[in-house]
């Protein structure tokens, strides 16, 4: 099931998406939730991105709203893998590129090797 274009990373916001895009080289679709998800928006994401049939990675902030979103996504997408940023950085957007690249590569997502030095 793992084709490069079959990977989806779910993040909270555009700044998170930009930070992830800086470090990855893999063909990955990055989906922004813009915070918590209602039932309709979640159904729309499931259908639009065929999340039940893709390799899904959840990468959200280590704060109250991020943890709440992670729990919601974990219920709806039990096959999803979780990528965590250190609670020291709290937010994906403020996580240093090197730390983010290390977390991503641990889930078999290709990153620019410059960020792994």
DSSP secondary structure string, the chain?
A: ---GGGEEEEESSHHHHHHHHHHB-S-EEEEE--SS--HHHHHHHHHHTTGGGSEEEEE--SSHHHHHHHHHHHHH-TT-EEE---TTT-SGGGS-HHHHHHHHHTTT--B-GGGG-
pLDDT of residue 3: 43
By residue range, what is the domain housing residue 66? 4-106
pLDDT of residue 4: 41
Q: Is residue 24 part of a domain?
A: yes
Q: Is residue 60 part of a domain?
A: yes
Q: Is residue 18 part of a domain?
A: yes
Q: Is residue 114 part of a domain?
A: no
Q: pTM for the full model?
A: 0.93
- Number of domains the chain is built from: 1
Query: Which residue ranges of the chain lie beneath pLDDT 70?
Result: 1-5
**Token pair for 93:** 């957007």
Q: Is residue 61 part of a domain?
A: yes
pLDDT of residue 5: 63
Q: Is residue 21 part of a domain?
A: yes
Q: Is residue 113 part of a domain?
A: no
Tell me, what CATH number does 98's domain have?
3.40.1360.10
24-45 pLDDT, tens digit each: 999 999 999 987 788 899 999 9
pLDDT of residue 110: 97
pLDDT of residue 20: 98
Q: Is residue 112 part of a domain?
A: no
């Amino acid at each position: 099931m793992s084709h490069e274009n079959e990977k989806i990373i779910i993040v909270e916001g555009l700044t998170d998406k930009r930070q992830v895009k800086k470090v990855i080289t893999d063909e990955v679709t990055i989906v922004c939730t813009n915070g918590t998800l209602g039932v309709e928006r979640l159904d729309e994401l499931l259908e639009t991105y065929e999340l039940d049939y893709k390799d899904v990675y959840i990468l959200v902030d280590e704060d109250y709203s991020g943890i709440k979103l992670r729990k919601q996504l974990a219920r709806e997408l039990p096959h999803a893998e979780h990528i965590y940023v250190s609670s020291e950085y709290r937010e994906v957007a403020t996580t240093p590129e090197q730390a983010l690249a290390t977390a991503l590569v641990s889930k078999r997502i290709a990153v620019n090797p410059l960020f792994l030095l």
